[in-house]
Chain A
Amino acid sequence: ELKVEQNPLFLSMQEGKNYTIYCNYSTTSDRLYWYRQDPGKSLESLFVLLSNGAVKQEGRLMASLDTKARLSTLHITAAVHDLSATYFCAVDINDMRFGAGTRLTVKP
Chain B
Amino acid sequence: SQTIHQWPATLVQPVGSPLSLECTVEGTSNPNLYWYRQAAGRGLQLLFYSVGIGQISSEVPQNLSASRPQDRQFILSSKKLLLSDSGFYLCAWSTSFGYEQYFGPGTRLTVT
User: Considering only CB atoms and an 8 Å cut-off, how many residues of chain A contact the other chain?
Assistant: 21
Q: Across the two chains, which residue of chain B brings its CB closest to A31? A: B98
* A33 at the binding interface (Cβ < 8 Å): yes
Stretch of B14-22, B43-51, B65-73 that contacts chain A: B43-51
Q: Assuming A92-B97, A92-B98, A95-B49, is B43 touching A42 (CB within 8 A)? A: no
Q: Is there an interface contact between A42 and B100, defined as CB atoms closer than 8 Å? A: no
User: Considering only CB atoms and an 8 Å cut-off, how many residues of chain B contact the other chain?
Assistant: 20
A residues less than 8 Å from B103 (CB atoms): 35, 42-44
A residues less than 8 Å from B26 (CB atoms): none
Residue numbers of B with Cβ under 8 A of A are 34, 42-44, 46, 49, 59, 90, 92, 97-106, 108
Task: Supply 8 A–B pairs (Cβ within 8 Å), ascending by A.
Answer: A31-B98, A41-B105, A42-B106, A43-B90, A44-B103, A88-B43, A95-B46, A97-B46
Residue numbers of A with Cβ under 8 A of B are 31, 33, 35, 40-45, 48, 88, 90, 92, 94-101
